[in-house]
Structure 1
Amino acid sequence: MLSMNRTYLLLGGNLEDRMQSLKSASAYISERLGKIILVSSFYETAAWGKTDQPAFLNQVILVETTQNAASTLEIILNIEQEMGRFRKEKYGPRIIDIDILFFNDEIILSPKLVIPHPEIQNRRFALEPIAEIAGNFIHPLLKKSMEQLLEECKDPLPVKKLENL
């Protein structure tokens, strides 16, 4: 039997129908990568890094997969491309963005892939949704829970949980 890996993915987008984009990305992920076993609420936040653009909608999902980290990256990059994502400008507007936050408790430092996501502790829009579904998950490098990292996060951008959707 193949061993199962668990990966936390951050979904985000700020163009067109943002919620539909996140739902479509989840459908592709469950079809091509593995079973989605946890899903956070949707969170809205102002654009980070490049602020003259529409607000983002974000969500974190936990996926169980037989794929390794490199294959997972390849699959999500293909999904982004199929959905119309073109990487033109850093922090620019996008229909969909799928980031690997964690892959099991692995530490991967390669030219194409860095896991854990190197900026998660600085980004409230990633910490709020992951703390909702995995507050006790321990960051393998920082040795702190998601709830602790959220409490310590200095990111001033407000993150609004969207209720009753």
Structure 2
Amino acid sequence: MNEAGAKSPNVIAAIGLGGNIGNPRRTMARALGLLDARDDIHIRRVSRLYRTPPWGNTDQEWFHNACALVETSLDPHELLKVCLDIERQLDRVRTERWGPRTIDLDVLLHGDFLSDHADLTVPHPRMTERAFVMVPLSDIAPQAVINLQSVADWASEVDSEGIESLSRSGDWWLEEEAR
């Protein structure tokens, strides 16, 4: 709610999902289900599911990654809080930067919001350098613009060697939720 008590207008936000501990596909599907079950967030589109090599700390299991477009009335900080709460519900423990994890939910984009604060940077820092973000994001938002360039163009410029699609469509999470 804004100061006048009116409902905030909905915006489209992009969320990155990843994980490499346990059953990442199931955990990511549960995270999407928890997001979509809220009154203030609605899943609009989900990318295909990808298997991706680890980034940063490369001495660990490969990841599963995807991106989702959500419609939300939450401001970027509130959306981040929801994502962090869902990570905790799904047993995310933060022990090392770029280390193994059950689930990672990142606010990549939030409408035309821009922020460069320590607690929230949007667009997400270095996302344009990371194929595990740009490849799935290009599935669902190829025309979105980040730093004056389309997501599709960024995706074509990153090194996507080793990345493989694990699903034919973005419905993988609904199928997994039904199991």
Q: How far apart, CA to CA, are the structure 2 residues paired with 1:30 and 1:126?
A: 21
Q: Residue 5 of structure 1: CA displacement? A: 1.5
Q: 2:144: which partner in 1?
A: 137
User: Which one of the candidate residues 75, 99, 119 is aligned to 1:68?
Assistant: 75
Give a deviation string over 1:23-52, Cα, whole Å, max 9, x none.
000011112351000110001011111111
Q: Give the gaps of 5 or more residues in structure 2.
A: 1-6, 173-179
SS at match of 2:99: coil
Q: 2:13: which partner in 1?
A: 7
Q: Residue 158 of structure 1: CA displacement? A: 2.3
Q: 2:26: which partner in 1?
A: 20
Q: For residues 29-44 of structure 1, what are the structure 2 equivalents within 5 Å?
A: 29-32=35-38, 33-44=40-51
Q: Residue 2 of structure 1: CA displacement? A: 3.3
Q: How far apart, CA to CA, are the structure 2 residues paired with 1:119 and 1:88?
A: 21
Q: 1:148: which partner in 2?
A: 153
User: Which one of the candidate residues 98, 118, 121 is aligned to 1:111?
Assistant: 118
Instruction: Please tell me the root mean square deviation across aligned C-alpha atoms, in Å.
Output: 1.3
Q: How far apart, CA to CA, are the structure 2 residues paired with 1:125 and 1:97?
A: 12
Task: Check whether the contact 2:12–2:111 (CA below 8 A) recurs between aligned residues.
Answer: yes
Q: 1:88: which partner in 2?
A: 95
Displaced runs of 4 or more, over 2 A: 155-158
Q: 2:164: which partner in 1?
A: 160
Identical aligned residues as a percent: 31
TM-score by length of 1: 0.93
Q: How far apart, CA to CA, are the structure 2 residues paired with 1:124 and 1:110?
A: 24
Aligned length: 162
Q: Give the gaps of 5 or more residues in structure 1.
A: none
TM-score by length of 2: 0.86
Rg (Cα) greater in structure: 2
